[in-house]
Amino acid sequence: MDFGLSEGQRMLKQTARAFLTAECPSSLVKEMARDDRGYTTELWRKMAELGWMGLVLPEEYGGTGGSFLDLAVLLDEMGRACLPGPFFSTVVLGGMIILELGNEKQKQELLPMIVKGELIITLALTEPGSSYGTSDMTVKANADGDNYVISGTKLFVPDAHIADYIICATKTAEGATLFLVDSSCPGINYSLLKTISGDKQCEVVFNKVKVPQENIIGDLGQGWIQLQSILRRAAIAKCAEMVGGAQQVLEMTVDYVKQRVQFGQPIGAFQAVQHHCANIATDVDTSKFITYQAAWRLSEGLPCNREAAMAKAWVSDACRRVTLLGHQCIGGIGFMEDHDLPLYSKRAKVAEIAFGDADFHREVVAQELGL
Amino acid sequence: MEFRFTPEEQKLAKEAHELMERERTPELLAETLELGGIYGGPEGRKIGQKMGARGWLCPAWPKEYGGLGTSETVKLMLLDEMAYMGLPFLFGGASMAGPAILRHGSEELKEEFLPRIAQGEVEFALGYTEPQAGSDLASVEMRAEDKGDYFLLNGQKMFNTHCHVADYHYLAVRTDPNAVPRHRGISMMVVGLESPGVTIRPLITMAGWRTNEVFYDDVEVPKKNLVGELNRGFRYVMTALDFERMVTIGMFRRLFEELVEYAKETKVDGKALGKNPLVRQKLAEIAIELEAARLLYYQLGYILDKGEVANYQSSMEKLFACEVAQHVVNAGMQIMGFYGQLQLDSKWAPLQGEMEFQYRWSYLHTIAGGTSEIQRNIIALRGLGLPLPTA
Amino acid sequence: MDFRLTPEQEALKKEFSEFFKEELKNAPPGWTGALEDMFSEEGWPFHRGTAKKLAEKGWLVRPWPKEYGGQDAPIIEQLIFSEVRGYHGAAGVDAWGIDMLGPTLLAAGNEEQKREHLPPIARAERFWTQGWSEPNAGSDLAALTTRAVRDGDDYIINGQKIWTSGAHRADWMFMVARTNPEEKRSRGLSYFLLDMKTTGIEVRPLYGMDGSHLFNEVFFDDVRVPARNRVGEENEGWAITRATMNFERSCIQIMAGVKHDLEELVGFCKETRWNGKTLAENPFVRHRLAQLAIEADVGRAMSYRIAWLQEKGGLIAAAAAASAAKVYGTEMTQRLACTACQILGLYGQVKKGSKWAPLMGKFEALYQFTPGMNIGGGTSEIQRNLIAWVGLGLPRTI
């Protein structure tokens, strides 16, 4: 067994860390939480120049042809930096869906643009009354000649307000179907939700939005199966981000308790504090391994339904524990708005529930156990 | 990254599994539980020697000492399989004293003991704990006086579990009563448990199996039985402890699988237990913890095979694994106990009463081999570099 | 043993409840009873207005002696009052003046101080804040360095306090400063009462991670305090500070607040349908809500026991129990917030003000506030130390 990264992955990690340390300080993260768009074109452009958008896209579309595991390494560093912006949406929810399910025309048209940083794409899946567990969607796409007409409300759609395209999960007569919707189509209304971490999630209302049938992604009526794969991938990818954030919280906490002096010594010398730190470290290490195992299996094309569910269930709870213990150790100062820790604890909360929370994924594991 | 075993490892695992499958008699299984998982009982030795003959007890040791020169991962893999199959899995020799002798013993000592350990012919008991020296091992007081060509030992050991089935004692003794700090006065010695002056008295645990008090009255130990250097023994104990802490919870993996089967088959109010949402969640939660524990376990092999020291990782693995073991048992009691109607002659025959037995045993897991508090201290001090308290 | 309230106590409870329910109809929109609501622009006048009404009814300081505005009422009645107020999330009580300083002056103040400061508290004319923590003296409060130097009939104070709740609103502050610089720890401290309008006091806001303004830094630049405002003897301030910490430690408001929020959450779960079923039909939701209900009841029993211990044996008898209630109450509140967010799923992350925020975003806010609760007022670690040292007689290492 090998728990280590390849040479290429180590280099990617180092480069990403150096770049993000310089280009994505916590001041930017805080600024983008207040900003409506949530990212700067400057940083976006630089990331595209580094080849990050094309990391897992094949060379024939301008990408680098890297593996999902490579992407996990990158997402880990992005999570460590709390990188704001539509990278996750565009690459994991956009590019990878088009790569897996799109026809050649769609791939030729969209993937090169994603690589160049010229497109922002997202996925509209969840709705007011339903989350990840049901194919019973209320957003309908009704056939109308060569087009489909989409109506209904999607909720918690990341980056919809800045996306060029939205991959919308709808219910057609044949079952669930994914459509590629041009975001500038008439009839779409966006409102940005105010959420705990200031990440950009939207309510998206589709009012008789006309979409040509050639914009179907994958097969008509096959959306439910397609969504399983999409969700699995998104869940693992989100875990990779969470792992990076958790690692940073550990380091922040350890640094603090080593230098904060009370009762004549660093509080890191007290057993209660040491045990909190040990508990954080244990959650961080287990999260790392369980995530990377899932990411590796996906990369290798091995079945990973069980491992993906295990990872998301574990990491969801572990990261919450890590951030709350971090707060307990860092005390009053970590409670302040201008401290960096709240960036992580708020983001961990959002990530905990994205793409299925722990309960949801434990049920998947229960099924895998044959119960 | 690679999370599968190599084809060679898989082949070896398969062969070992087949041997274990053939040789695991009901008497062996009963003896393992009765002894609390330790090696040294008559049934255990039978299979231990068969495995030892194939080099499977200490596979990572050099061939000259009875090993196969494999990776440490193979050792972890085989040990896990033994625990899973209900064989003894706590080896004082193969897992603890042996690695210490390999690393620190004289050539003479290595030749005398290592091959016999690897072949399963002799077993060691750990001799660290004393009434006043538990977590604080540096407080060891058992006295070893230098008498020229032998040491004279006097003192008492506590909770030395293997002694009643083992051949040798891997003993921590004080050779310098004036050492400052105290731990610099400790030496490690190998002592035959049949030596005149050694008295072993049973202590029965709440789980029903036996540990021991051991009294040394003027016991003579030849000088050649000193492991490594005089007064450097504490360091060797720490090495052995790091290895001891690579605990397998294979036994609990199997117990969990049986619990899952139980949940699938057992109906309550017309519905299988496994269909109860709370039961499903609890079992899924434990399945996930077992997986996380498995990854922490095999990470140790990866670290050792790289030639590095797992300074905090073995503590983390021991801490996590033992707490998961408790979760398995608590969930088992809860799930079975929800309905409170498990009869002693339930169709879940292989575990008839085992869950209850395991429950009584479970209190020890977070205490023996380094309490969970000590493990957390080690993670904090060695792993995270946190400071020691000043007086 | 008797766990019932007497008919008189029940009647009182009902009277309190009706008052608060009526009063809350005038609350500003979005009022949840959280501390930051009380100190907000809209909340502060409402808070003071309710306080005035409570003062007129004579309800603010009922256990105090009559001569200072109280009614010599038993502790249990104050507990009931606090429980009802905490349950409704009502305004009107300056906890710092009423529950902390008042009892301190009654125990350790001289007659002049009692006459000067207690009646204005009883009349809701004067609101207080507490000046204890400093940047380098949090859990280790005795390490504080703000200086008070004797100058004729006054002291001159220089230094800085932090985490001063509501200092931006308060009229007066009770604080502790170092009068003997030779002593580095608790032996050189004195207790003072300060008018916040005194020249040289500057209040700067601190914003919590939920965006709220509750805490402040307070800077003292040659602030002149008359010596008659020193409570107790010079350099004897630590014992009085410790006594202040021990007054009103039942934490009944925390327990009652949890009970109230839980009831709201249960109501929400009964009404809300997701994925085709009501939340209340989901076995995990049921299980978790039941667990919290049990914990809330346990918490309430802990608080009542503290009041009973205080009646019987005074504050020292209740000290360890008070620490236990504090750590239990705040950690339970955090479990409530986590559980609520878990139940609310994707909606748990939506902020107050959004039409999609369930229960007015209360739990999204509470999730961000509860880490502070486990730290302020004595961290959970310190409380556990106190339980061990004071309650169980285990040896101290620090």
Domain shared by A26 and A109, yes or no: yes
Residue C340 has pLDDT above 90, yes or no: yes
Residue B345 has pLDDT above 70, yes or no: no
- What is residue B347's predicted lDDT score, i.e. its pLDDT? 57
- For residue C4, name the pLDDT band (cuts at 50, 70, 90): confident
Find chains touching chain C: ≥3 CB pairs under 8 Å.
A, B
- How far CA A323 is from CA of A97, A149, A315, A335, A352, in Å, comes to 31, 44, 12, 11, 12
- What is residue A102's predicted lDDT score, i.e. its pLDDT? 96
- What is residue B351's predicted lDDT score, i.e. its pLDDT? 57
Compare all CA atoms of chain C with the CA of B391 and give the residue at the minimum distance.
C397
Q: Does C301 touch chain A (CB under 8 A)?
A: no
- What is residue B340's predicted lDDT score, i.e. its pLDDT? 34
From CA A83, how far away is CA B142, in angstroms rounded? Answer: 59
Q: Which chain C residues are closer than 8 Å to B283 by Cβ?
A: none
Residue C293 half-sphere exposure toward CB, CA atoms < 13 A: 10
Q: Which chain C residues are closer than 8 Å to B281 by Cβ?
A: 284
Residue listed under structure tokens 């452009």: A45
Nearest-CA distance B12 → chain A (Å) = 15
Which structural domain, as residue segments, surrounds residue A215? 122-221
Which residue in the set A130, A195, A336 is minimally distant from C275, CB to CB?
A130
Domain shared by A12 and A38, yes or no: yes
- Contact criterion met (CB < 8 Å) for B278 and C287: yes
Which residue in the set A272, A324, A338 is minimally distant from C381, CB to CB?
A272
At which of A96, A119, A142 does a domain end?
A119
- What is residue B350's predicted lDDT score, i.e. its pLDDT? 39
In a domain, A1, yes or no: no
Nearest-CA distance A181 → chain B (Å) = 38
Residue B66 has pLDDT above 50, yes or no: yes
- Contact criterion met (CB < 8 Å) for A342 and C372: no
Domain shared by A39 and A71, yes or no: yes
Mean pLDDT for the stretch of residues C134-159: 97
Q: Supply φ then ψ for residue B215, to 5 degrees.
A: -110, 130
Q: ipTM value of the model?
A: 0.90
Which residue in the set A261, A328, A350 is minimally distant from C374, CB to CB?
A328
- Contact criterion met (CB < 8 Å) for A134 and C133: no
Residue B341 has pLDDT above 50, yes or no: no
Residue C314 has pLDDT above 80, yes or no: no
- What is residue C33's predicted lDDT score, i.e. its pLDDT? 87
- For residue B352, name the pLDDT band (cuts at 50, 70, 90): low
Q: Which chain A residues are closer than 8 Å to C162 by Cβ?
A: 332
- Contact criterion met (CB < 8 Å) for C372 and A357: no
Domain shared by A195 and A160, yes or no: yes
> To 10 degrees, what angle do helices B42-53 and B7-23 make?
150
- Among A236, A285, A300, the strongest candidate for a mutation testing the B interface, having the largest count of B CBs within 10 A, is A285
Domain shared by A248 and A362, yes or no: yes
Cβ pair B324, B290 in contact under 8 A: yes
- Among C140, C375, C382, the strongest candidate for a mutation testing the A interface, having the largest count of A CBs within 10 A, is C375
- Contact criterion met (CB < 8 Å) for A342 and C163: no
Cβ pair B141, B174 in contact under 8 A: yes
Compare all CA atoms of chain B with the CA of C397 and give the residue at the minimum distance.
B391
- Contact criterion met (CB < 8 Å) for A328 and C334: no
Q: Does C206 touch chain A (CB under 8 A)?
A: yes
Q: Does C375 touch chain A (CB under 8 A)?
A: yes
Nearest-CA distance A204 → chain C (Å) = 13
Point out the least confidently predicted range of B271-285, B304-318, B329-343, C330-344. Answer: B329-343
What pairing do the DSSP bridges indicate for beta strands B124-127 and B168-174? parallel
In a domain, A148, yes or no: yes
Domain shared by A156 and A23, yes or no: no
Q: Does A261 touch chain B (CB under 8 A)?
A: no
- For residue B338, name the pLDDT band (cuts at 50, 70, 90): very low
Residue C209 has pLDDT above 70, yes or no: yes
Compare all CA atoms of chain C with the CA of A342 and give the residue at the minimum distance.
C209
Q: Which residues have a Cβ under 8 Å from the Cβ of B133 and sit 6 or more positions away?
A: B139, B140, B141
Q: Which chain A residues are closer than 8 Å to B272 by Cβ?
A: 371
At which of A94, A119, A144 does a domain end?
A119
Question: What proportion of chain C, given as a percentage, has pLDDT over 90?
Answer: 85
Q: Which chain B residues are closer than 8 Å to C283 by Cβ?
A: 276-278
- For residue C310, name the pLDDT band (cuts at 50, 70, 90): confident
Cβ pair B159, B129 in contact under 8 A: yes
Domain shared by A211 and A129, yes or no: yes
Domain shared by A231 and A177, yes or no: no
The CATH superfamily of B126-237 is Butyryl-CoA Dehydrogenase, subunit A, domain 2 (2.40.110.10)
Nearest-CA distance A262 → chain C (Å) = 5
- What is residue B236's predicted lDDT score, i.e. its pLDDT? 86
Domain shared by A361 and A239, yes or no: yes
Q: Which amino acid is at A85?
A: G
In a domain, A18, yes or no: yes
- Contact criterion met (CB < 8 Å) for B320 and A282: yes
Mean pLDDT for the stretch of residues C128-144: 96
Compare all CA atoms of chain C with the CA of B275 and give the residue at the minimum distance.
C283
Question: What proportion of chain A, given as a percentage, has pLDDT over 70?
Answer: 99
Q: Which chain C residues are closer than 8 Å to B277 by Cβ?
A: 283-284
Nearest-CA distance B29 → chain C (Å) = 38
At which of A198, A221, A244 does a domain end?
A221
From CA C398, how far away is CA C396, in angstroms rounded? Answer: 6
Residue C317 has pLDDT above 80, yes or no: no
Cβ pair A167, A217 in contact under 8 A: yes
Mean pLDDT for the stretch of residues B286-313: 94
Mean pLDDT for the stretch of residues C280-297: 95
Chain centre to alpha carbon of residue B104: 20
Find chains touching chain B: ≥3 CB pairs under 8 Å.
A, C
- For residue B359, name the pLDDT band (cuts at 50, 70, 90): confident
Which residue in the set A194, A267, A320 is minimally distant from C350, CB to CB?
A194
From CA A369, how far away is CA A355, in angstroms rounded? Answer: 21
Residues of C annotated catalytic, as ranges:
248
Closest CA to B124 of B190, B58, B76, B173: B190
Q: What is the pLDDT of residues B79-107, one digit of tens each?
A: 999 999 999 999 999 998 999 999 999 99
* B·C CB contacts under 8 A: 8
- Which of B72, B81, B244, B354 does the annotation list as catalytic? B244
Q: From first to last of its 371 residues, what are the pLDDT tens digits of chain A? A: 999 999 999 999 999 999 999 999 999 999 999 999 999 999 999 999 999 999 999 999 999 999 999 999 999 999 999 999 999 999 999 999 999 999 999 999 999 999 999 999 999 999 987 778 766 789 999 999 999 999 999 999 999 999 999 999 999 999 999 999 999 999 999 999 999 999 999 999 999 999 999 999 999 999 999 999 999 999 999 999 999 999 999 999 999 999 999 999 999 999 999 999 999 999 999 999 999 999 999 999 999 999 999 999 999 999 999 999 999 999 999 999 999 999 999 999 999 999 999 999 999 999 999 99
Q: Which chain A residues are closer than 8 Å to B80 by Cβ?
A: none
Q: Which chain C residues are closer than 8 Å to A196 by Cβ?
A: 349-351, 364, 367-368
Residue B130 half-sphere exposure toward CB, CA atoms < 13 A: 19
CATH class of residue range B245-383:
mainly alpha
The fold adopted by the segment(s) B7-90 is: Butyryl-Coa Dehydrogenase, subunit A; domain 1 (1.10.540)
| Cis check: omega of the bond before B387, within 30 degrees of 0 | no
Q: Which chain A residues are closer than 8 Å to C206 by Cβ?
A: 336
- Contact criterion met (CB < 8 Å) for C284 and B389: no
- What is residue B355's predicted lDDT score, i.e. its pLDDT? 81
Q: What is the pLDDT of residues C102-125, one digit of tens each?
A: 999 999 999 999 999 999 999 999
Question: Is B43 annotated as catalytic?
Answer: no
- What is residue B130's predicted lDDT score, i.e. its pLDDT? 96
Q: Which chain A residues are closer than 8 Å to C338 by Cβ?
A: 320
Q: Which residues have a Cβ under 8 Å from the Cβ of B174 and sit 6 or more positions away?
A: B140, B141, B142, B143, B144, B185, B186, B187
Q: What is the pLDDT of residues C58-75, one digit of tens each?
A: 999 999 999 999 999 998
Which residue in the set B3, B287, B385 is minimally distant from A365, CB to CB?
B287
- Among A126, A195, A352, the strongest candidate for a mutation testing the C interface, having the largest count of C CBs within 10 A, is A195
Q: How many CB atoms lie within 10 A of CB A19?
A: 17
Cβ pair A350, A199 in contact under 8 A: yes
- Contact criterion met (CB < 8 Å) for A196 and C368: yes
- Contact criterion met (CB < 8 Å) for B278 and C397: no
Q: What is the pTM of this model?
A: 0.92
> In chain B, where are the structural domains located?
7-90, 126-237, 245-383
Domain shared by A102 and A187, yes or no: no
Compare all CA atoms of chain A with the CA of C377 and give the residue at the minimum distance.
A332
Domain shared by A148 and A52, yes or no: no
- Among B273, B275, B278, the strongest candidate for a mutation testing the C interface, having the largest count of C CBs within 10 A, is B278
Q: Which chain B residues are closer than 8 Å to A279 by Cβ?
A: 376
From CA A124, how far away is CA B146, in angstroms rounded? Answer: 79
A302-341 residues touching B, CB cutoff 8 A: 307, 310, 313-314
Q: How many CB atoms lie within 10 A of CB C150?
A: 13
- Contact criterion met (CB < 8 Å) for B295 and A297: no
In a domain, A163, yes or no: yes
* Number of domains comprising chain A: 3
Nearest-CA distance A163 → chain B (Å) = 35
Domain shared by A237 and A328, yes or no: yes
